[in-house]
Chains A and B, each alone.
Chain A
Amino acid sequence: MTARDRILDAIRVALPQERPAPDAISAEAKALLADPDTSRPRLVAEGLFDAFILKAESIGTTIDRVGGMEAVPDAVRRYLSGHGLSLSLAVEPTPALTALDWTGLDTGTTLAPDQPAALGKALWGIAESGSLIVHSGADTPILLSFLPLHHIVVLQESDILSHLEDYAAQLADRPHPRNAILITGPSGTTDIEGSYVRGAHGPGFLHVILVASTD
């Protein structure tokens, strides 16, 4: 008897003989999610946009608002200069970013060991928690979100969702990527005496460039 059979057998012996059909189990699972508003946090502000900003800033994310995608390189330059960093960074090879005019900035698609910053694009933001969503893919190396000390993320205002459930619905609508990641603030740790320190293994700085919707 394989380990698999032994475990499943032990479960079946412990559970009642009469078992509902798979459809009935699914229906029961779905019913457990009814009326989500009764058991999830309310947004901290009226609109998705304001709620996202308030929440993200409360967990240490910084935010810069720009009028359109073409203004992103300038916003990046502003951020790097503001932190006294060299004008050099890794840019995720996603067309929305590589198509921009990067004149005057030293950009590449991989992060050199001494390079402190990387730029990526979030698929969505979540107003409930101030989270950013990143999916792995051909254009989105996961390591670019984790290796740099400064992680800069472009997010379109129109891509801000209300709650975690709204993101789950988006995720269910497409093939599941290898990694689906919710990034909620800069990396941190409280492992030494419970005192909070930023930049444990991942980025110590998380900066969002929020792009106004053009349509």
Chain B
Amino acid sequence: MSGAHAGAQAPFKDRATAALADKTLKIAIDRTTGNAERKRAAAVAAFPEFEAARARGKAIKDHVIAHLDHYLEQFERNATASGAKVHWAVDDAGARAIVTRICLEAKAKLVTRSKSMLGEEIGLPHALADAGIERVETDLAEHIIQLAGEKPSHIVWPAMHRTREQVAELFKTGHRPPPAAEDPATMVQSARRELRTKFLSADIGISGANFLVADTGATCTVTNEGNAELTTTPPRIHIVTAGIEKIVPSTVHAFALLRLLVRSATGGELTQYTTFHCGPKRPGDADGPEEMHIVLVDNGRTRMLADEFREMLRCIRCGACMNHCVVYRQIGGHAYGGTYPGPMGSVLTPVLDGLAGSRDLPNACTMNGRCAEVCPVGIPLPTLLRAWRIRSWREKLEPGALRVGISLWAMLAKRPALYRLASRTGVRAIRMFGKAGWISRLPLAGGWTAHRDMPRPKGRTFMEQYRAEQAKKGGRP
């Protein structure tokens, strides 16, 4: 169970209902995901080799996963040789303890952090606060949600749920002096000014890693803002927290995946800054930290390796699945309740937070398959979501009424004659609730008819019509 989300939350359905009623949220989501979808499509169209690149990316990740122990040990050897200290954490609590201990031993007062979803996953923000350490988020979106006291709502654009007007309100009280105007350019300038002194006076900089390069021991970050390098260079200590699945054999393998990652995430080709961090400052170097620590975090990943969710370890955290998800685009990221939202989050949250509390997530999916279509490493997300549904059924986590209903349906579905009789009766019964072509209210289906009308059945079932047609043609039904 993740300590990051141990706090009590309203049930998923209530969160989703509240999100659906929030008109401003819908506007904010549409602005960012719409842009992301268009830009990704253009980037893929401009790269005819994308399919081949995707097949290669998938093969690279599968190879690494099949030899994960080999590559982790190789990475550890090379990172250690570069002067970094490698730590291992079985779970989120272990990872928090390691990072907090390093901060406390260094008597750190101010820590800057470059966006890392793994950091969110292990609950690092709270851990630092509990240890009495000032934490400054340096990614612009993370800065926005830190001012708002919120969690990320997207893995690439954590503040995408906020409109520019809402950001202006936050900066007005959070920046000294406040920004002179409310347009994005002026607000970005204000954040640049506000954070500059923090970068230069921090005791420790914490980053994540997009890749861990086994044959060099380097960790790789990608950003568009340049905040990662400003976070990791001036302080005395650089700490990296990374999931063990981030490993790649070499820099070239990282490049093959980068081409997929950036196009799928933002529609760019490369982010403005792609940086390989290899150990602390070398003797004679003009700048850089004296110490580098790398915390390798398992937190459920070896469990995924052992079961039907192994393919999820290929995920490179691009966010394309959520940008293209009809459910995400209606409710946004916060309604999901976990660290990771959208389709990939609905697969990961049950791993991290337990299925009992998150069984609604794999169900909140239309199975339209868009996520799998756009996934740059070919993760069969709908199949994995279905696997959680199956497990939820086996573990008897569904509410009683649902279990009875589905058992009843299964009983009918296995008996064709009975099924046809039931559907013939049902269709005729449903017809009684609608006069013209549509039904606006139907007992037991209020969840559907509250938001839209249901088409009134034509009066006969498919099988009845099929038989009639076949009989007309003179063929055998």
Contact = CB atoms under 8 A, between A and B. Distances in A.
Nearest to B35: A194
A188 B140 CA distance: 10
A177 B68 contact: no
7 contacts: A41-B259, A146-B233, A180-B218, A181-B273, A181-B275, A187-B272, A201-B226
B72 A8 contact: yes
Contacts of A139: 286
Contacts of B134: none
B184 A197 contact: yes
Nearest to B56: A39
B144 interface: yes
Contacts, number: 257
A191 B139 contact: yes
Contact of A22 (B70, B157, B188): B70
Interface string B273-286: 11111111110111
A8 B73 contact: yes
Interface in A19-45: 19-20, 22, 25-26, 28-29, 32-33, 38-42
Interface in A62-109: 93
Contacts of A199: 188-189, 192
A191 B141 contact: yes
Given A32-B63, A181-B229, 17 more contacts: A3-B88, A7-B90, A7-B244, A11-B305, A19-B67, A29-B63, A131-B274, A139-B286, A164-B259, A176-B217, A179-B277, A182-B270, A184-B270, A184-B274, A200-B188, A201-B226, A202-B272
A183 B188 contact: no
Contacts of A164: 252, 255, 258-259
Contact of B230 (A165, A189, A202): A202
A165 B272 contact: no
B184 A41 contact: no
A179 B59 CA distance: 28
Contact of B288 (A3, A15, A136, A147): A136
Contacts of B87: 3
Interface residues of A, number: 71
B167 interface: yes
A70 B94 CA distance: 56
Interface in B374-398: none
Interface stretch (B12-20, B47-55, B99-107, B453-461): B47-55
Interface string B243-265: 01000011111011011000000
Contacts of B306: 10, 13-14
Interface of A: 2-4, 6-8, 10-15, 19-20, 22, 25-26, 28-29, 32-33, 38-42, 93, 129, 131, 136-143, 145-147, 164-165, 168, 171-172, 176-195, 197, 199-203
A128 to B, nearest CB: 8
Contact of B272 (A7, A22, A142, A186): A186
A137 B285 CA distance: 5
B272 A3 contact: no
Interface string B155-173: 0011110011001000000
A147 B250 CA distance: 30
Interface of B: 28, 31-32, 35-36, 46-47, 49, 52-53, 55-56, 59-60, 63, 66-70, 72-73, 82, 87-90, 94, 138-141, 144, 157-160, 163-164, 167, 184-185, 187-189, 191-192, 195-196, 199, 216-218, 224-227, 229-230, 233-234, 244, 249-253, 255-256, 258-259, 266, 269-282, 284-288, 296, 298, 302-303, 305-306, 310
B157 A181 contact: no
A38 B226 contact: no
Contacts of B196: 201
A34 to B, nearest CB: 9
Contacts of A41: 46-47, 49, 259, 269
Of B94, B226, B255, the most chain A CB neighbours within 10 A belong to: B226
B273 to A, nearest CB: 6
A193 to B, nearest CB: 5
A33 B278 contact: no
Given A7-B296, A181-B229, A136 B286 contact: yes
A177 B250 contact: no
A1 to B, nearest CB: 10
A24 to B, nearest CB: 10
Nearest to B305: A14
